[in-house]
Amino acid sequence: MRHRSTLRAVYELLSSMRFAISLLTLLGVASIIGTVVKQNEPYNNYLNQFGPFWFPVFEKLGLYSVYNSFWFLTILGFLVLSTSACILRQTRPMLRDMRGFREHAREASLSSFAHHARFAHGLPAAQAKDAVQAYLLNNGFSTRVNVREDGILLAAKQGSWTRIGYFLAHGAIVLICVGGLLDGNLPLKIQMALGGKQVTTGNQLISRIPDSSRLGVDNWSFRGNVFIPEGKSANTAVLNVQDGILLQDLPFTVSLRKFHLEHYESGMPKRFASDIIITENATGKSVEKTIEVNKPFEFAGVMMYQASFEDGGSRLHLRGHDLRAGGAPRPFATEAVVGEAVALKDAGLDHTLELGSFRAFNIENMAAEKPEADTGNFARLEKHLGSGARSPTAKDMQNVGPSIQFKLRDAAGQAREYQNFMQPILQDGAWYLLTGMRDSPSAPFRFMRIPMDDDGRPDSWFAIRRVMLDATRHPEIARRFAATALGADTSPDVRARMQETTARTLELFARGGFESLGKFIESTIPEAERDKAADVFIKILEGSAWEAWKMARADAGLPALVPAAQHSRLLRDTLNATNDSLHYGAPVYFQPVAFDEVRATVLQVTRSPGKPIVYLGSLLLVLGVFAMLYVRERRLFVLIKDTGEALVALSSNRKSMDVEERFRRHRDDLTTLLNPSPRS
Amino acid sequence: MEIAQKESSPLLRRLSPGDWLYALALAGGALFALRQYGGFMDVYDKAILLLTVPGLAAMGFAWKPFRAFLAASTALALVSIALYQGDLARAEQVFFLKYLISSQTAIMWMSALFFIATGAFCLGLAARSDFADATGSALTWCAVTMGTTGLMVRWYESYLIGADVGHIPLSNLYEVFVLFALMTGLLYLYYEGRYATRRMGAFVLLVISAAVAFLLWYTFSREAQEIQPLIPALQSYWMKVHVPANFIGYGAFALAAMVGVADLLVRKGILANRLPPAEVLDDVMYKAIAIGFAFFTIATILGALWAAEAWGTYWQWDPKETWAFIVWLNYATWLHIRLTKGLRGPMLAWWAIAGLVVTAFAFVGVNMFLSGLHSYGSL
């Protein structure tokens, strides 16, 4: 007996409104956690973020995958239980209420209604009954008549559908939760627990992954990604689970013919689409299809979606320019594939080049930034009138060509990251090859601008730089510079001093660029004269660069240079780039010269058995909510008493203002109806 | 918007010639749009266009002033389109376009009108002036008309940039803020008419003014008004149903919260003789939350259907989804407490105000503080 009452108490609790509201609140609060902690990131990120102490604590609490965690699913489970109990508890009284007319209501209870009125009626009872019955029918009520000792009671009701709304909406919640559970990772967890499946690390060949980490084609609920490079095919999907992966065998093979990547003029992505051929393993039947974002495709019970895209191993042809003193004067050719590392032994280097990514184009805003003229408030407003198509700031979106990003790792394992552009870019009126360097992935790239010569090539810069940084040639540069700068009639003494200064300047510059020169100036020259001295040093460097250029051309057997206006700009740029190259950190500059782009698509593949259930639940939820909120149950009672008095009472399941208004209308209508004026 | 239950005679018998004319104009307009622009639509877009006809017709039948509003804003938009003659540059050259009915200008007018309307309502409340209230009401009608014109013209302008850029202007934070102001304004006007009181205007217009202030800051400081093309995930007919349904929800919740403020004041005896009685305010608050909840439910479900197509899963606890869920839970609880427990009084008003905070976070806060797939408008 006692046991029974405990059960009863649990049932009462589960089905109580208080419990349901507590659950809803708890669910809301629990959901917030998952929006504060980023979900399903690689575990390393969490380790970095929370540190070694909190990381395992939070892992135990399931904070990295809140919505799949045990406790969250438990709350959802209780919601299902509570809602079901509530439905169960309400079914009988609600059905009784829906069916019943309450035609046995006593006069006393009717007069206790908030909305009730009495008035005298002037018709015979039978006639009054018929009139009221017709009135009720006309107003959309269904009526039951009870002739009893105190008179005739017409019990009418409308809008009982609102009760159905209750069942629809609450049943829908149960359906949606159940469907959602089927599509979540609960089935996977069960398979891992019962079927002995375990995750494995992602860093291995697919063929080496053991069967214990593979899920069969008959798995009825999964969500994974398929990676396919152009021209290749795949028949397994990768499921990311916790900090590892599982492989899902697919009942078909997908091959990617081509991946389409389109952009708007602004460089914003416009279209991602994969031309695929799907071949069913069992039948050999194949289908060609284009899958794009918002246009998924279902095959053999598996839905396929365009999820993302990656590089599928593009091949880059690079030209390496040796930047080391005494390095090879001629550039060498090498190749690299995105996602792979190349040892640079052939070029005489201990380094490896890890080509991380390739971009076939880069769209940049090339408009010169103009400082905004202050033209007053009205002009400012006027700038924002007109069409929404108008850009308030000047824009000049241009494709500046392909670029690569790679790491250069030395023998000690230290790596720097580089970003090199394939084509020269116009900046401040001159063309440069840009190459960016950074020491850590979080830092922005610092760019070195390699100037282009009269032929539109970077070769001159490499040649000048070579000569200028070659200590053995400094005396010759100094001699030539002194001769050109001082003219023929200078005394040998002055000339020798000039030569010496030039050689010293070159030596300092070759050692550490402008920085060494700056230090030298600071340590030897009084503060008042430093600016002037710096100018002199720059002049010397520019003159020396000009001499070095002539020497380099002679070395290469090229005709002598004719001085021209654009050369002074080139010399300045040459000095700047040479200075930057001393801090470039790489022995070689790699210029991309050609590429064979290979793209890869990432398709998401899913089997979600719960989807139809969830959709059905959603439909019922909408119907239920509208029925509950907008179908009003109203009961109207008219008691025609034999004493010549009538009693009208109205009840409604919602206490809103219009009930009163409605009651007044019915009362007045009925009063008129039962007291016809003599004329009619 | 309310499902018709006021009258018991059959619907068709209640329709006036004006109603028939309105419905006919709607059907004609839809057919014209189909003929003129059908080439830019897929079958779903066409279905949505055709379903808009009965939807808007029902709106107009149930709420008569809506007919004139829709007619006026459509007429203005058509004049604007005619003035454009297919050339965007004319927005700078034609006086009427530049200073009246190009999209940006119309939205600026909407902003100004909402501000002035707020002022008029406040004056009406302070001076108990029915004239000021009536002015506020008229200005609000003008504001929603200009705003709707602005959005319709913006839609057209986006296609003038390029057929591949063109899309319904419901795609980023700027555009939905305009939509939010419009929805809240229209919902207010509906309740104003239905409860025959204009004194709630000062409160509701305050939240619209706040949204407009944000909109102006967003325009002048962030240059957010420029029409942007759609990223692939947003290129879908679902946007046309998901976003408006969502903003009926947001607008209604905002309105409910502001009416809740008025309700609390009246209960404390502040402005009590100038505002409608607490039970009226309480009723408006309930009606607004009910309609908001119903549409927010639909919007969330439509969003799930869209997510299933675009991202491959109908629910993945993306921050925006999760916060939509929290908003939904919040109002579900509110309705349970009121309807099942029968609770009334200041507690529910406080709760409705707190609900606006939660809603605002789901609407704007998620974009500001959390990252996720709904990254259509970062600040």
Is residue A392 packed enough to be buried (19+ CB in 10 Å), middle (13-18) or exposed (0-12)? middle
DSSP β-ladder status, A430-438 and A415-421: antiparallel
pLDDT band at A428; cut points 50, 70, 90? confident
- pLDDT given at position B85: 95
DSSP class of residue B40 equals G
**Distance of residue B329 Cα from the nearest chain A Cα, in angstroms:** 6
**CB nearest to A386's CB, from B104, B233, B336:** B104
* Nearest alpha-carbon partner for A212 in A224, A225, A226, A200: A200
Does position A348 have pLDDT exceeding 90, yes or no?
A: no
Report the residue of chain A nearest B320, measured CA to CA: A35
What the block records as the tokens of B32 is: 């014209």
In terms of CA atoms, which chain B residue is nearest residue A21?
A: B333
- Tell me the pLDDT tens digit for each residue of A501-552: 999 999 999 998 999 999 999 998 888 888 898 999 999 999 999 999 999 9
How far is Cα B90 from Cα A108, in angstroms, rounded to an integer? 77
Q: Distance, in angstroms, between B30 CA and closest chain A CA?
A: 24
Name the strand (E) or helix (H) holding A346.
none
Return the pLDDT at A48.
87
Return the number of CB contacts < 8 Å for A and B. 181
Which of A613, A596, A539 shows the shortest CA–CA distance to A572?
A: A539
What average pLDDT does the segment A176-191 reach?
A: 90
The CA-based angle B86-B88-B90, given to 5 degrees, is 90
Pairing of strands A214-215, A244-263: parallel
Tell me how far apart the alpha carbons of residues A459 and A447 are, in angstroms, rounded to a whole number.
19
Interface list for A 302-321 with B (CB within 8 A)? 303, 305-307
Helix (H) or strand (E) holding A333: strand A332-337
Which has the closest alpha carbon to A325: A116, A124, A471, A427? A471
Q: Are B295 and B253 in contact (CB under 8 A)?
A: no
Give per-residue pLDDT as tens, B319-329: 999 999 999 99
Cα A320 from Cα A462, distance rounded (Å): 11
Q: What are phi and psi for residue A540, nearest 5 degrees?
A: -60, -45
pTM: 0.89
Output A329 or A607, whichever has higher pLDDT.
Answer: A607
Would you give per-residue pLDDT tens digits along chain B (379 residues)?
Answer: 333 344 445 566 788 999 999 999 999 999 999 999 999 999 999 999 999 999 999 999 999 999 999 999 999 999 999 999 999 999 999 999 999 999 999 999 999 999 999 999 999 999 999 999 999 999 999 999 999 999 999 999 999 999 899 999 999 999 999 999 999 999 999 999 999 999 999 999 999 999 999 999 999 988 899 999 999 999 999 999 999 999 999 999 999 999 999 999 999 999 999 999 999 999 999 999 999 999 999 999 999 999 999 988 899 888 999 999 999 999 999 999 998 877 888 999 999 999 999 999 999 988 888 766 665 555 5
* Residue linked to tokens 């401040």: A428
Burial category of A475 from C-beta neighbours within 10 Å (exposed 0-12, middle 13-18, buried 19 and up): middle
Angle between helices B278-310 and B319-339 (to 10 degrees): 150
B251, B336, B349: which is closest to B299 by C-alpha? Answer: B251
Q: How far apart are CA A173 and CA B16, in angstroms?
A: 42
Strand partners, A273: A260, A292
Residue A37 amino acid letter: V
Q: Rounded CA gap, A476 and A495, in Å? A: 13
Q: What is the mean pLDDT of residues A300-314?
A: 93
Are A135 and A673 contacting, i.e. CB atoms less than 8 angstroms apart?
Answer: yes
Which distant-in-sequence residues (6+ apart) come within 8 Å of B318 by Cβ? B372, B373, B374
DSSP state of A267: S
> Do residues B319 and B370 make contact, with C-beta atoms less than 8 angstroms apart?
yes
Whole-number Å distance between alpha carbons of A517 and A555: 28
Q: Are A674 and A151 in contact (CB under 8 A)?
A: no
What does each C-alpha distance from B79 to A313, A632, B65, B94, B333 come to in angstroms?
Answer: 54, 44, 21, 12, 47
Task: For residue range B46-67, list pLDDT tens digits in order.
Answer: 999 999 999 999 999 999 999 9
Instruction: Give me the torsion for CA of B117, B122, B125, B130, rounded to 10°.
Output: -30
Measure B149 CA to nearest chain A CA, in Å: 12
Task: Quick: pLDDT tens for B149-203.
Answer: 999 999 999 999 998 999 999 999 999 999 999 999 999 999 999 999 999 999 9
Q: Which of B169, B219, B223 sits opposite A393 (nearest CB)?
A: B223
> Which of the pair, A46 or B2, is modelled with greater confidence?
A46
Q: Which of A20-34, A87-101, A377-391, B136-150 has the highest mean pLDDT?
A: B136-150
Query: Which of A32, A223, A630 has its CB closest to that of B326?
Result: A32
Quick check: B313 and A223 CB within 8 A?
A: yes
- Residue B6: predicted pLDDT: 43
Q: What is the C-alpha R_g of chain A? A: 42
> What's residue A505's pLDDT?
92
Mutation target for B interface from A16, A27, A35: give the one with most B CBs within 10 A. Answer: A35
Q: Which residues pair with A255 in a beta bridge?
A: A233, A277
Lowest-pLDDT range of A470-474, A654-658, B26-30, B234-238: A654-658
| B86 backbone dihedrals φ, ψ, rounded to 5° | 70, 15
Whose CA is closest to A330, among A469, A459, A453? A459
Of residues B311, B322, B342, nearest to A34 (C-beta): B322
Q: What pLDDT score does B42 carry?
A: 93
CA gap B113, B144 in Å, rounded = 9
- Model confidence band, residue A373 (pLDDT cutoffs 50, 70, 90): low
Whether B311 contacts B373, CB under 8 Å: yes
Please name each of the domains of chain A with its CATH number.
2-96 (no CATH), 102-159+632-674 (3.30.160.110), 196-220+222-312+599-607 (no CATH), 315-366+397-596 (no CATH)
Sign of CA dihedral B357, B358, B359, B363: positive
Q: Which of A330, A325, A355 is nearest to A340 (CA)?
A: A355
Pairwise CB contact (< 8 Å): B297 & A621: yes
Tell which A residues from 637 to 676 touch B, by Cβ distance under 8 Å: 654-657
- Is A295's pLDDT higher than 80? yes
pLDDT, average across residues A90-108: 89
Per-residue pLDDT, A372 = 57
Q: What is the pLDDT of residue A274?
A: 97
- In this structure, the strands spanning A588-596 and A634-641 are unpaired
CA dist B150 and B104 (Å) reads 7
Above pLDDT 90, what percent of chain A?
A: 56
Rounded Cα gap, residues A369 and A366, in angstroms: 9
Least confident stretch, A28-42, A402-416, B94-108 = A28-42
Provide the pLDDT for residue B180.
98
Neighbouring C-alpha atoms within 13 Å toward the C-beta of A111 = 7
* Minimal Cβ distance to B103: which of A271, A296, A387: A387
Structure-token match 């200064």, residue found: A501
Element (H, E) at A452: none
Domain assignments of chain B as residue spans, ordered by start: 231-379
Q: Which of B283, B309, B317 sits opposite A656 (nearest CB)?
A: B283
Looking at residues A117-145, what average pLDDT do you find? 91
Cβ of B223 within 8 Å of Cβ of A180? The answer is no
Nearest CA in chain B to A66: B317
Helices (H), chain B: 11-14, 17-37, 43-62, 65-84, 90-93, 95-96, 103-127, 130-161, 173-195, 201-222, 238-267, 278-310, 319-339, 346-360, 366-369
DSSP A598-635: -EEEEEEEEE-TTHHHHHHHHHHHHHHHHHHHHPPPEE
Q: How many other CB atoms are there within 10 angstroms of residue A458's CB atom?
A: 22
Matching residue, tokens 């965690």: A69
| Whether A606 and B313 lie within 8 Å, measured CB to CB | yes
3-state secondary structure A206-254: HHHCCHHHEECCCCCCEEEEEEEECCCEEEEEEEEECCEEEEEEEEEEE
